[in-house]
Structure 1
Amino acid sequence: MTKRPVVSHKVLLSATLLASTLITFSGTSSAQDTKSWPNNTISIVSGFPGGAATDLYARKLGVELNKEFGVSFISDNRPGAGGNIASALVAQAKPDGYTFLLGTAGTHAINPALYSKLQFDVVNDFSRIALLGTLPNILLINPEKHPEIKTCADLLNAAKKAPGTLNYASTGNGASGHLAGTQFATASKTSYVHIPYKGQGPAMTALLSGEVDFFFNQSSPSLGAIQSGKVRALAVTSPQRVSVLPDVPTVAEACNLPGFESTTWYGLLGPANLPAEIQNRMSKAVLKAINTDSFKEWLVSQAIQPIKDGGPDAFKRVQQADMKTWAKIVKDSGAHVD
């Protein structure tokens, strides 16, 4: 018969005290880490290539946050899978306040409906820091290919005369420009052929070369081509005109489609379980930075609309509402990615 080892009360007491000490030490260490934050470089990850609007925003924001915290901020671009690679990286990152995500309505409101399976939960695997601004798409056409189309009404007339013959570019299947095109076709009772490209650059090249007839492109990367005259801006998809393009009407007014809107947003997120103190400090610093007059001027120059209430609670409400809205639009578009 095997005898069980006898453990003395002194040994048990010592083990208990050691465990208690370790827990206390761990808690103290965590508290000390929170109080000393930040003392190292902070990464702002985005899911699109360097030079994209998200990269430019991350760099601009990093400069302002460096003034507040005194540490370096880097823009870390991890393109691919509609932004899902970057989102997964941040969702799985240690919640220590050194890794954040510059997310979009695409990554955190559209993709859940577009992709059959994600490696993360867009709501529960992230801590919301702040909404960073809303932006429209711009309906662009190549004036050399279509000199006769000078207004949105002209485009609709051409589409109605030859249903299903005009085509349009997007930055990818299920991207905001694709879905704006779907909304546009449904609202105007017209039909078009959708041609997805791998990113903004190839899609714009297709428009400039005459491969496609029009393109719903995000506002920021469109401005240069509009101002140089290479493309003609027929309308913006926001409810109001954007101040940097005051002569470009909204889709609602130019196309006689009352209530038409197709806008997206940028937002800063961290991993889930981010300490409340870090979340609050980061949120306050970001909102302070983006609400300065100089930053607002920069946003307006990029056709990005500043947010009045961009705190974590408002961010969560906007995200959850948009997930429902975009789910219906994705379903109507037939877009799906396995």
Structure 2
Amino acid sequence: MRRRSLLALPLAAPALAPMGAAAQDNWPNRPITIISGFPNGSGIDIYMRRMAEPLGRALGGATIIVDHRTGAGGNIGSDFVAKARPDGYTFYFGTAGTHAINASLYRTLPFDVVRDFTPIAHLGDVPNALTVSIERRPQYTDCAALLAAARANPGRLNYASTGNGASTHLAGAQFAVAANVDLTHVPYRGQPGAQTALLAGDVDFFFNQVGPALGPIRQGQTRALAVTTAQRLSILPDVPTVAEACNLPGFVSTTWYGMFGPANLPAPIVERFSNALTTVLRDPEFSNWLVTTQGIALPPVFTPAEFAAIQRRDIASWAEIVRRSGASVD
């Protein structure tokens, strides 16, 4: 599935030139495409659309095109960028799911999540909220009630996710291991489908990303039983952590967003794009929007090399969670 959106400010688009030193010096001189592996309405989509205009300004008035290439837990979009020319005009808005979890979750991938990409910038840490439908599952007033039902009915309770390998999937798998319960995973193609299934009563619960979860929570459609962070979130101060609410000490399940380019991206472009993203993240208006509407924690200013080290660390740590959960995708 593909959906393209033209955002930010227009630039003149001269004929393509070889990617030599002069071309790098003039970068960007035509539209930049940022690929998303997830559909409209997802947490990534919300973030990208809000980021596009200030990012375009930080790059001197560049046009930013958001192109949705969805499916396979973000792997379709990842594969497209892995095979793109490293000319500074195609990037991927990745996640810990697409660039750490999927490396061990999928038996085979048509790309290597490290070798075939250039890490550029860490864009924030993303929490999830354990949510249930107030209308369809009124009996789940707290996490204790949910776990009691799961233990009384092994394998019968199910949870939605935004796709195999997404943080919403692994949060549920991690939860099942930590609580020693048998749960059934039901993947959907993105956040809107999973949220619709929750509200319709097709699934029992959903570890939704906090940003897109806030609307249904505040509208009284869903109940947040817990958040997956180590401490409570300022935007949901009355919602306990999973460790508190579910009596699972030490439970934390958060992921990150990050920007990637194809492998062999020229260093001057990496540096300029990383600096532009940092400018956007450090803007008070944008950073306040991230924290207060999306629940996304701003990271320190990481260099591309530091972000690459975070990615490699998380590939190893998520591989252990995948192994313990038994999750696997062909």
**TM more than 0.5:** yes
Show the counterpart of 2:6. none
One-letter amino acid of the counterpart of residue 77, structure 1? H
**Matched residue pairs, number?**
311
The answer to whether 1:221 aligns with 2:209 is no
Show the counterpart of 2:25. 35
The answer to whether 1:63 aligns with 2:53 is yes
- Pick from 322, 326, 329 the counterpart of residue 330 of structure 1: 322
Change (3 A) 1:147 1:109: same
Change (3 A) 1:170 1:306: same
SS in structure 1 of the partner of residue 20 of structure 2: helix
Runs of 4+ aligned residues of structure 1 deviating over 6 Å after TM superposition are: none
Structure with more helix by fraction: 1
Q: CA deviation at 1:29?
A: 7.1
Q: CA deviation at 1:265?
A: 0.8
CA–CA distance in structure 2, aligned partners of residues 86 and 154 of structure 1: 39
8 Å Cα contact 2:242-2:248 kept in structure 1: yes
Change (3 A) 1:153 1:320: same
CA–CA distance in structure 1, aligned partners of residues 109 and 156 of structure 2: 35
SS in structure 1 of the partner of residue 67 of structure 2: strand
One-letter amino acid of the counterpart of residue 37, structure 1? W
- Pick from 24, 45, 65 the counterpart of residue 35 of structure 2: 45
Show the counterpart of 1:248. 239
Show the counterpart of 2:280. 289
TM-score by length of 2: 0.89
- Pick from 263, 267, 271 the counterpart of residue 280 of structure 1: 271
**CA displacement 1:214-259 (0-9 Å, x = unmatched):** 1111222211111101010000111122222111111011112111
- Gaps of at least 5 residues in structure 1 are 1-27
The answer to whether 1:315 aligns with 2:312 is no
Change (3 A) 1:278 1:29: closer
CA–CA distance in structure 1, aligned partners of residues 157 and 106 of structure 2: 27
Show the counterpart of 2:88. 97
CA–CA distance in structure 2, aligned partners of residues 53 and 243 of structure 1: 18
8 Å Cα contact 2:42-2:192 kept in structure 1: no
Show the counterpart of 2:131. 140
Within-5 A mapping of 1:173-212:
173-212=164-203
One-letter amino acid of the counterpart of residue 137, structure 1? N
CA–CA distance in structure 1, aligned partners of residues 19 and 308 of structure 2: 31
**CA displacement 1:318-338 (0-9 Å, x = unmatched):** 111111111122222322222
Show the counterpart of 1:232. 223
Q: CA deviation at 1:182?
A: 1.7
SS in structure 2 of the partner of residue 43 of structure 1: strand
CA–CA distance in structure 2, aligned partners of residues 336 and 158 of structure 1: 25
Show the counterpart of 1:171. 162
Q: CA deviation at 1:188?
A: 1.8
- Gaps of at least 5 residues in structure 2 are 1-17
CA–CA distance in structure 1, aligned partners of residues 145 and 41 of structure 2: 33
- Pick from 60, 69, 76 the counterpart of residue 85 of structure 1: 76
8 Å Cα contact 2:104-2:319 kept in structure 1: yes
Q: CA deviation at 1:55?
A: 2.0
CA–CA distance in structure 2, aligned partners of residues 252 and 29 of structure 1: 51
CA–CA distance in structure 2, aligned partners of residues 83 and 174 of structure 1: 8
8 Å Cα contact 1:42-1:97 kept in structure 2: yes
**CA displacement 1:13-70 (0-9 Å, x = unmatched):** xxxxxxxxxxxxxxx9711111111111111111111332212222222211221221
Q: Which has the larger radius of gyration?
A: 1
Which deviates more, 65-74 or 171-180? 171-180
Within-5 A mapping of 1:91-130:
91-130=82-121
CA–CA distance in structure 1, aligned partners of residues 119 and 156 of structure 2: 43
SS in structure 2 of the partner of residue 168 of structure 1: strand
CA–CA distance in structure 2, aligned partners of residues 262 and 246 of structure 1: 18
Show the counterpart of 1:7. none
The answer to whether 1:264 aligns with 2:278 is no
Work out the percentage of aligned pairs sharing the same amino acid: 56
8 Å Cα contact 1:135-1:238 kept in structure 2: no
SS in structure 2 of the partner of residue 235 of structure 1: strand
8 Å Cα contact 2:137-2:201 kept in structure 1: no
SS in structure 2 of the partner of residue 224 of structure 1: helix
Root-mean-square deviation (CA, aligned residues, Å) is 1.7
Change (3 A) 1:70 1:145: closer
